[in-house]
Structure 1
Amino acid sequence: MYKVYFITFGCKVNHYETECMKLLFREADFEITDIPDDADAVVINSCTVTSSGDSRAITALRKTRAALPHAVIALTGCYPQANREEAEKLSEADIIAGTKFRSHIVGMVKNCLETRSHMVEIEDYGSDDVFEPLKCTRFDNNTRAFVKIQDGCNQFCSYCMIPYARGRCRSKAPEVLRDEVRAIAESGKKEIVLSGINLAFYGREWGLDLADAAEICAAQDGIERIRLGSLEPEMMSEELLMRLKALPQFCPQFHLSLQSGCERTLKAMNRKYTAAEYLALTERIRSIFPDCSFTTDVMVGFPQETDEDHAESVEFIRRVGFAKVHVFRYSRRKGTRADKMSGQVPESVKTVRWQEMTAAADETREKYLSSLVGKTVPVLFERENSTEFHRGYAPDYTQIKISRKNPEKSLRNQIISVIIEEYGHDFCFGRAIDEL
């Protein structure tokens, strides 16, 4: 029996696709190994959101080849799809494959193990592409199941390579989603996280929307929580929000992609909303979901961003009051409009702005966590932190810890009411309502 080892970079969609590929390999009588030195084949699932993402995948490829000179190595994912010419020059890889036809990867690895022939399979996306029906019903070591229901992006933000790496928007068919969710529930998972490249565009080709996907999940016995991945703010209609509100299983954590709180910068980025519209949306959501939380991503150092633009963005972060913000520096991507813009910001300035934005994000994070003290929340416990704590997540995705009074007892995959008594840097601490 051949053994295969996986290395995965990037977003939750990439990790979901890795799990799908693992299932395909298992069905083909491969053994999935966690020990690189045991592997006959290695699959590297890459990311190309940033140039550093490209570098990490290439570094992993070269290190793997040096450590495993006789293994078959497949480089797949967004990096080769968006950068075919560069990827084909990487002699360390036996197989170069993009993001289309993930189901072909098993056959390619088998062929290469037998013939040692070099293979490349990268096909450009077209307007008539459909969603590849991959599925995953096994999520090792997780109590949450991530389910990819959408792929591709039509937005073409000026800094982004994803439309070239993933193609146009397309969705998982409702009946396929229903079958996958049923299998996940039967496996014992209680929480589903709906994921996609541009999740809010789900179902548009059939006149459906994201609420339809959430309702399919809610209709399945055993699913007690439904969470959404990253969302584009301009797609969150009043009707969609009210349909989500009607689902008892819905977790009101909204990861609304922002990128910048400055109107001028948003326009230069080709984002499809203004800062004022974004703020109005958060206010509308708060009126519908009083206990909701907002998380987001913010970029600093975009071309032509001035000190005044940056200050406007920092102030916007404080005004919204995010529960958590992922702050990152703008990274030039060859082939994007932003790469050709004048006024590229020096790295030293980006670093200072990253520090300032991170400080503001930390302030809003602390303020949000402190506001939770005294509240009682249902916590889905995931795993124990050594012998001291049980750890899990509230519906708003706040990490909650409680003392582990009995070292022999696990609360994994149980939902228990917890009163929050303290907060720390990145979590809250409380005690179970029912003493353990």
Structure 2
Amino acid sequence: MMDLFYQSGYDVVHCDDEADVYVVNSCTVTSSGDKKARQALRRFKRANPDAVVALTGCFPQAFPDVDKQIPEADVITGSYNRAGIVSAVRRALETGERVIEITPHKKGESFEKMAVKKFSERTRAFVKIEDGCDRYCTYCIIPKARGPVRSKQMAELREELRDLAANGYKEVVLVGINLSSYGRDLENTRLIDAVRLACSVDGIERVRLGSLEPELLTGEDIQTLASLPKFCPQFHLSLQSGCDATLKRMNRHYDSAEYLRIVQDIRTAFDNPSITTDIMVGFPGETEEEFAQSLAFAERVGLAKAHVFPYSVREGTAAARMPQLGGEVKQQRAAEMARLTDRTRRAFLETQLGRTEEVLFETEQDGYYHGYTKNYTPVLVKSEEALCGQIKCVKIESIVEEKCLGKLL
């Protein structure tokens, strides 16, 4: 969307600067996301009452009556027709009237044609290839907010990847709402085909995947990925819980045994892979015993990193109607799970000591360059040579807080 505004002649400024137009691209995974969107809209309107303030994204798509709740929004659009944001804003600027355009999702809709050739101040490019989800986890509003599964055509993907390579990007991350479902709406196309295509583009030296639904990753896929030299062996496999009873109430489509088997297949196929995940605690009905099972499973997997968060009630989902746990219990469990995954994180970083790895450097501060290995281990290197945007061999020597310190070879 930022690119669309650039192409239409707008200058894009920092959100703390005065502007003629403010755009809030909302998330509605949790109710706190809705609250933050409302707060941002009100802050921008107070800062510049004459500006056009636009709300877009998942919040209005999932809850289309939001216009009655937020009079500060001069423009309201959803997550479906993102390409229409510029014309909606222009109409509000020209007429002074409120513009509300929330296009409902419909069965059989196609992937919206949007591409980015350049990202500001990044060495990695994020390439969205899939949208929508039909998994209907009981805690999740995303199927309502993002609609059915739809995929970017391979020809469009090839063109976008070539443009990114021409603009100097060495690494691309293929992402989607339910990335593992990529290609299900296309003929004879699957996620593995998109990965092969990305790895074949000259100039792209690394290919990484976003979050994956674990049970959709087959043993054959894992072997194929391991045969691609450009593929980065970092797998973000969404776990949510290590307890089978909790997973069933969540309507997840795997159990802990299947998850562990997939992790073991990855570790057999790849040298030095990393497994990262998301873990939810305090889901409705989660007993002390179930939480203990989840803790034990997280430790057994040996996660390189985990995003741990307490369950948050999301209006409009099945889980919102289930018996809820108290906030204090959820916070205590989140803290305990975070302590455990911090230990597994430290243990993973210790396995990287002494290794020589290729690092793509992204930023610099106080003479230290920060980058990532192929398995997404963060590495700091002291250097007088400018390293941003370069891939260099580094020997990892020590651990400093959550990062590794290395020596440039």
Query: What band does the TM-score fall into relative to the shorter chain?
Result: over 0.9
The C-alpha deviation readout for 1:253-293, integer Å capped at 9, x for no partner, is 00000000000000000000001110111001110013100
- Mapping 1:39-188, distance limit 5 Å: 39-188=19-168
Cα distance, 1:425 vs structure 2: 2.4
Cα distance, 1:35 vs structure 2: 5.4
The gaps in structure 1 that reach 5 residues or longer are 1-20
Structure 2 CA distance for aligned equivalents of residues 103 and 66 of structure 1: 27
Structure 1 CA distance for aligned equivalents of residues 164 and 325 of structure 2: 46
Equivalence for 1:302: 283
The C-alpha deviation readout for 1:103-130, integer Å capped at 9, x for no partner, is 1111111111111110111122111111
> Residue 17 of structure 2: SS of its match in structure 1?
helix
Structure 2 CA distance for aligned equivalents of residues 36 and 114 of structure 1: 24
Contact 2:222 2:265 in 1 (8 A): no
Counterpart check, 1:229 vs 2:210: yes
Q: RMSD of aligned C-alpha atoms?
A: 1.0
TM-score (norm 2): 0.98
Structure 1 CA distance for aligned equivalents of residues 389 and 96 of structure 2: 44
Structure 2 CA distance for aligned equivalents of residues 272 and 425 of structure 1: 36
Equivalence for 2:356: 376
Equivalence for 1:249: 230
Equivalence for 1:238: 219
Query: Aligned in 2, Cα 1:308/1:87: closer, same or farther, shift over 3 Å?
Result: farther
Structure 2 CA distance for aligned equivalents of residues 138 and 72 of structure 1: 26
TM-score (norm 1): 0.92
Equivalence for 1:6: none
The C-alpha deviation readout for 1:369-425, integer Å capped at 9, x for no partner, is 0111011100000111223x1110000101000112x2xx31011111111110132
> Residue 32 of structure 1: SS of its match in structure 2?
coil
The equivalent position to 2:375 in structure 1, one of 396, 414, 425, is 396
> Residue 37 of structure 1: SS of its match in structure 2?
coil
Contact 2:18 2:48 in 1 (8 A): no
The gaps in structure 2 that reach 5 residues or longer are none
Equivalence for 1:11: none
Q: Which amino acid aligns with 1:200?
A: S
Structure 2 CA distance for aligned equivalents of residues 91 and 203 of structure 1: 40
- Deviating beyond 6 angstroms after TM superposition, the runs of 4 or more aligned structure 1 residues are none
Equivalence for 1:12: none
> Residue 365 of structure 1: SS of its match in structure 2?
helix
> Residue 370 of structure 1: SS of its match in structure 2?
helix
Cα distance, 1:215 vs structure 2: 1.2
Structure 1 CA distance for aligned equivalents of residues 128 and 343 of structure 2: 33
Contact 1:261 1:317 in 2 (8 A): yes
- Mapping 1:11-22, distance limit 5 Å: 21-22=1-2
The C-alpha deviation readout for 1:180-205, integer Å capped at 9, x for no partner, is 00000000000000000000111112
Equivalence for 1:28: 8
Q: Percent identity, please.
A: 48
The equivalent position to 2:180 in structure 1, one of 168, 188, 200, is 200
What is the aligned residue count? Answer: 408
Contact 1:37 1:68 in 2 (8 A): no
